[in-house]
Chain A
């Protein structure tokens, strides 16, 4: 294992800085929202983590397909990295959303399509780790993981569609709003700065963690190989 590349070191520092700036923008720079008050500030991180988490899951499904085609373990390592970080980001999204929903919707949780889909998606990826946990052979584990991310990646949007059969109260801030939505607001320019910087910051953090996690996965694969060699 070679030492940490310089680009990654720079990226590490950049993501810490990005997180600090995003925090400043979200908590201090952005004005207080008139209707919802301070709690609206979770929105900047809520969208940032949701965006990267969801893209990460799609990315993982793509990496899974690539693994099945190429049969090279490096794609599997990347896939695990993407799923793991996305699962954590997505969990943060759900927790932040819940904190926001308590004063605005007057409940921690509601069975709204987006919330339900988010919970089920998170469970799919918990199941993904349980599946991997139960299989010792690295090749088989990689194949099953790839197949399951593919199935999960297909099933999550269909779940969303199927729950759409009920109405939604989740606000749509970007794009068209639903008249039933509760907690919608219009962004001022300063809010937009905080919002877009939040998206950017979490994208940088995702890439940084992804890279680090791949390096860790490579080390783990090496250790596993050494263990197997010892046993034979």
Chain B
């Protein structure tokens, strides 16, 4: 043997580490269904409550569908974010993850991707249910794209803030208070763009909220990437 033995285990690549964290979350979730079922049942309940709160008759439906959908997604997203981070904290998993010899932002991206997957699955189920219950056609590729972009922005900030919120004494109530005021732009832009696509407006009117969504996503993913180290540092 001429080659020296390397005692150090090889450092996994950034992408590999990210997907390992995502994969861990998805596997745990597909075995327990804890988070997903809670988010889904909660979303359906929110939609039902809106039916009574807003008297969703045919004319109202046209104008409020985008708003109702985004409020539902935002609430369900908060529920999911809180739970996905609380699980890590409760059983000391976060410390274990932090000990892993990987870039810490890989943990952030891993968690964010799994949170995004949960949110998207819930949305994929809520959309046809909403269509069915309220007889509104939501099959619209533009709307799907807006939902994807909006969810990315919401989860990007949400994952970062959730990892701060779970370390606080008041963690059960803190996340929505921290998240909603800073997620306002993404929600406004998403509602505006969704409304535009649902009403079949010309793209020139949707262009402004649409580009705001992309801008928000880029800015906040970059910020989260830069500051996540400070959030989990001991």
Interface residues of A (CB under 8 A from B): 68, 120, 123-124, 127, 130-131, 133-136, 140, 143-144, 146-148, 150-152, 154-155, 158-159, 161-163, 165
Contacts and interface: CB of A to CB of B under 8 A. Distances in A.
A13 B174 CA distance: 41
A134 B168 contact: yes
B209 interface: yes
Contact of B188 (A133, A135, A150, A165): A165
Interface of B is mostly: helix
Contacts of A143: 230-231, 233
Given A159-B185, A162-B184, A131 B178 contact: yes
B182 interface: yes
Nearest to B178: A127
B91 interface: no
14 contacts: A134-B169, A136-B169, A140-B167, A143-B231, A147-B164, A147-B227, A151-B157, A151-B182, A151-B220, A151-B223, A152-B181, A155-B181, A162-B184, A165-B208
Interface residues of B, number: 33
Contacts, number: 88
**Secondary structure type dominating chain A contacts:** helix
B189 interface: yes
B216 interface: yes
Interface in B164-199: 164-165, 167-171, 174, 177-178, 181-185, 188-189, 192
Most buried by A among B164, B170, B219, B233: B164
Nearest to A67: B230
B169 A162 contact: no
Contacts of B185: 155, 158-159, 161-162
B221 interface: no
